[in-house]
Amino acid sequence: MESYENLLAAVTTPDGGRPVTDPATDEVIGRAPERGTDDLERAVAATRAAQPAWEALGHEERSRLLNAAADAVDRSAEALAHLISREQGKPLNGPGSRFEAGGVSAWLRTAAATPLEPERVLDDESGQATLSYRAAGVVGAIGPWNWPALIATWQFAPALRMGNTVVMKPSEHTPLSVLALAAIVNQVLPDGALTVLPGDGDLGAAMAAHPAFDKITFTGSTRTGRAIATSSAGNLPRLTLELGGNDPGIVLPDADPAAIAEDLFWGAFINTGQTCAALKRLYVHQAIHDDVVDALAEVAARMPMGRGVSEDSMLGPLTTADQFRIVDNLVEQARAAGGRLVMGGAPDRDAPGHFYPATLVTGLPLDAPLVVDEQFGPALPIIAYTDLDEAITQANALDVGLGASVWSSDVERAKQVATRIEAGTVWINKHGTVHPMVPFGGVKGSGYGLEFGVEGLKAVGVPRVIAA
């Protein structure tokens, strides 16, 4: 098994480059190379040259190589997990960096194993027609900083399986994790199949506008997603945009507060709230509002926050100083608006690192910034309601729709409510749990296109109909 020190040394540059810090301590852990447009041109040329041979290998051989890449990830999983914890901040344990490294392997294996057979769409006296999918060509993937290695895998694994080659730009905040993942899987993959170019937003903009890309996939903010859609319009690459969300949860009056409290907590506070499809605003029926708040507070109080590499931590720091400021400002505005801070809301602003305590806020108006703006951090507004129709209206009021959830002891009743919520996924009695075979994507300002499973393979392919 590769050590953390060796893995880090393999992806850092000794001189120059962008310093990468541990968000728990502000310590520089390494330096990432910074690539520019000349590097992009070379990468595009190499990946385009490699693509026909990679596609010609066929599904069976490409799947074999993806499974071999997953084996390589498994051998280096502990080193990769430590690097993620040091760079991004999430704890090793719980739904943290070991979970993320395991997810990388699982998604690689699922991309390899998922069948995508030609579909006979017409077969009668008028004729026959068959729908199949071929590789798009060269895929440009632009990733986020919150789940850097896992979301990178969501982007490149299905693309490679379908016969595409990939140029990937990780977030400038977490380049080392993605460089390390590429170094691991490229022990197995042929040259030119997967290239990682660390760089800033200008490099991402250049990728979005580059005519060589047949497909662009992006995970990040709605604002940047709109910019990518605009800048890519001249070239008309296919797009998958998984953008920001402000996921609502609705707790019906028959729910059991004690039974749902821990799942509610992790739905909201996984990765210290830094997850696109985390629960970000919670509407609870007045009859059980106080009981749900108390149960949530009890769970939150026993979740230790600390350095990601500590075996005891369950919550870590926010990844960037900017994200700390966003959460801090939203909570202070909530305090000024008369919100009641049940717990949290008092960070040590002078201490090293970007630690913001788990925070629960009640009593806010429906239009409070903490409710209507995506906080992307460990601060959950809890809003009491009496009329279910009004709660559903409020859940649908924002121009985002990535995920949502309904909580009830009556699953069939919860499913009925779920059909009225405008979101790409509505979970019942859980929130944000993704599965490599279940399609995932958003609506409205949360983007378009699907990832995972059969639909995820189709999204990085090009349909072809043969009719006779």
C-beta of residue 445 within 8 angstroms of C-beta of residue 240: no
Cα atoms in the 13 Å half-sphere on the side-chain side of 451: 29
pLDDT digits (tens, 9 = 90+) for 173-185: 999 999 999 999 9
Reading the block at residue 392, the tokens are 């559903």
Beta strands in 125-214 (DSSP E): 127-135, 138-142, 165-169, 194-196
Angle of helix 58-75 relative to helix 97-113, nearest 10 degrees?
160
CATH superfamily of 4-243+446-467: Aldehyde Dehydrogenase; Chain A, domain 1 (3.40.605.10)
Please, what is the average pLDDT of the chain? Answer: 97
pLDDT of residue 42: 97
Q: Is the whole model's pTM more than 0.85, yes or no?
A: yes
Three-state SS at 196: strand
Angstrom distance (rounded) from CA 380 to CA 161? 39
Inter-residue contact 424 to 441 (CB < 8 Å): yes
* 3-class state of residue 33 by DSSP: coil
Residues 208, 214, 217, CA angle at the centre, nearest 5°? 55
Terminal alpha carbon distance of the chain: 54
Q: Which of the four pLDDT bands, split at 50, 70 and 90, describes residue 16? A: confident
Question: Residue 54 has what pLDDT?
Answer: 98
pLDDT over threshold 80, residue 1:
no
Return the pLDDT at 91.
98
Q: How far apart are CA 391 and CA 395, in angstroms?
A: 6
pLDDT, one tens digit per residue, over 312-324 is: 999 999 999 999 9
DSSP annotation of 366 reads T
Identify how many contiguous H helices and E strands the chain contains and give both numbers. 16, 20
Distances (CA, A) of 102 to 77, 95, 195, 427: 7, 10, 22, 23
The span from the CA of 439 to the CA of 453, in Å, is: 6
Q: What percent of the chain has pLDDT over 90?
A: 99
Sorting pLDDT into bands at 50, 70 and 90, what band is 2?
confident
How would DSSP label each residue in 105-141? HHHHHHHHH-----EEEEEETTEEEEEEEEE-SEEEE
Confidence at residue 14, expressed as pLDDT on a 0 to 100 scale: 83
Helix (H, G, I), strand (E, B) or coil at 192: coil
What is the dihedral sign for C-alpha 208, 212, 213, 214?
A: positive
Which position has the token pair 């505005």?
Answer: 333
Q: Give residue-wise pLDDT tens across range 156-168.
A: 999 999 999 999 9
- Delimit the domains of the chain by residue range: 4-243+446-467, 247-428
Query: Which CATH architecture describes the domain 247-428?
Result: 3-Layer(aba) Sandwich (3.40)
Mean pLDDT of the region 285-306: 98
| b/e code 309-328 from CB counts within 10 Å (16+ = b) | bbeebbbbbbbbeebbebbb
Q: Whose structure tokens read 């993942």? A: 181
The 3-state DSSP class for residue 336 equals helix
Beta-strand pair 238-242/215-219: parallel
Q: Rounded mean pLDDT of 94-115?
A: 98
172 in helix, strand or coil? Answer: coil
Structure tokens at 129: 């027609």
Provide mean pLDDT across the span 411-415: 98
From residue 35, how far is each of 169, 241, 303 by CA, in Å? 10, 23, 39
What Rg, from alpha-carbon coordinates, does the chain have? 22
Whether pLDDT at 238 is above 70? yes
Active site residues: 242, 276
